[in-house]
Amino acid sequence: MFNAKCILIGDTSYNENDNYKPLLYENYPTGIVVFFPEIKNKSYDLYELTTYRRLLGFLNSRPLTKEEFTNLDSPHQLVEYYTNNDIYFINQSEIKIKNSIIQDLNKNNLFLIDDITIICFGDEAIEKFKNVKNIIKCPHPSRKVSHKFWEKYDYRYRKDYNFNFDFQNFFYTLK
């Protein structure tokens, strides 16, 4: 089993494209490090990858300017740093929970749930851990999610979502 202080759980890994793909890390509990990309196109500006930018803002407890972001270590180096500090980034689709233990899909025991903080990002991750007491629920950091939560961690947060819109009243008018 791996020692962990905190596990951040995501919904799905990045899809592979011309610019980046999911980051594979040797001897990592699940192989793929969710939220962290492996760059394929060296000229790609990682600051444009909303999910990664928001996650790094969250980990730094504030939004990062492009300059601050650019001066960070590579995704691989950051994963090494966090792993050395017993913090892991796991995809919910690569694990299952059995008797307060997080297992990989091959039934290898990875983490004991009771003594760690688990931060779930997105509905699928939250649903998988719904019966676990020590979780923190957060909206997914994807660019598709315009939850006000991300305003605190992302300078590029879209502010065009109307949080005051009365959906209940709107649906009533459609009846």
Cα–Cα distance for residue pair 3/114, rounded to 1 Å: 12
Distances (CA, A) of 117 to 46, 113, 166: 28, 8, 35
Q: What is the pLDDT of residues 25-66, one digit of tens each?
A: 999 999 899 999 999 999 999 999 999 999 999 999 999 999
Q: 175 falls in which pLDDT band (50, 70, 90)? A: very low
pLDDT given at position 165: 59
Query: Structural domain tally of the chain?
Result: 1
Report yes or no on whether pTM surpasses 0.75.
yes
Token pair, residue 22, equals: 């999911």
Q: 160 falls in which pLDDT band (50, 70, 90)? A: low
Residue with tokens 């939004």: 63
Which strands sit side by side in the sheet containing 101-104, from one edge to the other? Answer: 95-98, 101-104, 109-112
Amino acid at 6: C
Cα–Cα distance for residue pair 137/133, rounded to 1 Å: 11
Residue with tokens 């730094």: 60
Q: 74 falls in which pLDDT band (50, 70, 90)? A: very high
In a domain, 19, yes or no: yes
Instruction: Tell me which residue range forms the domain holding 78.
Output: 6-174
Cα–Cα distance for residue pair 126/50, rounded to 1 Å: 20
In a domain, 142, yes or no: yes
In a domain, 1, yes or no: no
Of residues 96 and 145, the one with the higher pLDDT is 96
Instruction: Name the percent of the chain lying above pLDDT 90.
Output: 75
In a domain, 136, yes or no: yes
pLDDT given at position 158: 66
